[in-house]
Amino acid sequence: MRAVDSIIPVSIHTLCMVSRENQVILGFGLLALILLYIVATLTTLPTWVSIAVVIVVGVIIPQVINNALGE
């Protein structure tokens, strides 16, 4: 057993095991939610723009990045 294992709690220690793909998806998912809030509350843009922002930022961009980095 390493000294770090006894010092760092299991919940924090397991965070190091999150894959790069999941980090990209989670990061862009959070960004999509923030942008959704900004577009929906601070602008007068139509609803379809908010939906497009979520789809592009939360789904398409992470897929493109993960596919590009995976090859």
Per-residue pLDDT for 29 more than 90? yes
Range(s) of the domain holding residue 60? 18-70
Per-residue pLDDT for 6 more than 60? no
Domains held by the chain: number: 1
* Confidence bin at 24 (pLDDT 50/70/90): very high
Per-residue pLDDT for 52 more than 80? yes
- Residue 9 included in any domain: no
**When comparing pLDDT for 71 and 43, which is higher?**
43
Q: How far apart are CA 18 and CA 66, in angstroms?
A: 14
What are 12's two structure tokens?
């924090």
Share of the chain above pLDDT 70, in %: 76
